Chains A and B, each alone.
Chain A
Amino acid sequence: DIQMTQSPSSLSASVGDRVTITCRASQSISSYLNWYQQKPGKAPKLLIYAASSLQSGVPSRFSGSGSGTDFTLTISSLQFEDFATYYCQQSYSTPETFGQGTKLEIK
């Protein structure tokens, strides 16, 4: 199975900050990388697919980049509603695997 490792595991930031979350795959996955946001008690929400494509309806302050083994999710200017847990997920091979999550908290 492909292992996905996110860093950091948790992050404190303020409204208006620029935030970057990193995801590393244990082998090359080309651009088969997606990002999700999850709030407590809710289902995950797709933010970015294919490493850098913004899902319809997702604010443009979210962006993704990378290919191969190293990927980043960037939030250009944090809004209050962005405080949540973020997961990366590879769809290069089954089983599709997720990172362990990055919890973004208010500073």
Chain B
Amino acid sequence: QVQLVQSGAEVKKPGSSVKVSCKASGGTFSSYAISWVRQAPGQGLEWMGRIIPILGMPNYAQKFQGRVTITADKSTSTAYMELSSLRSEDTAVYYCARDYDSSGIIAFDIWGQGTMVTVSS
């Protein structure tokens, strides 16, 4: 079964960057898209963007354009999400999730365990 394992918690200063990894095991990494979703403390879920590793072309939510970079390394079956110019509002749990395509309807069927990113001076 496919599993997604994320890197550990991070504490960052305002204005810096963070890079979170998401390693897939047990499946064919390149053939499905990986999305990134974040959740601020006590808040709802927010989609940030996705990448299809076999194509290498990311798609970002406009809110994060210019600050987020999503990449994938097929050789290690790992996806990455880098967020720059961090501010306190970026404090959140960041999840990677696999896109499941059912006749063109995308759902997130497998999730990583989440990575807590804290932005604090």
Contacts and interface: CB of A to CB of B under 8 A. Distances in A.
Interface in B33-60: 35, 44-47, 59
Q: Interface residues of A: mostly helix, strand, loop or mixed? A: loop
A27 to B, nearest CB: 16
Interface size bracket, A side: 20 to 34
Interface size bracket, B side: 20 to 34
Contacts of A36: 45, 108
Q: Interface residues of B: mostly helix, strand, loop or mixed? A: strand
Contacts of A95: 47, 61-63
B107 A91 contact: yes
Interface in B56-84: 59, 61-63
Interface of B: 35, 44-47, 59, 61-63, 95, 97, 100, 102-103, 105-109, 111-114
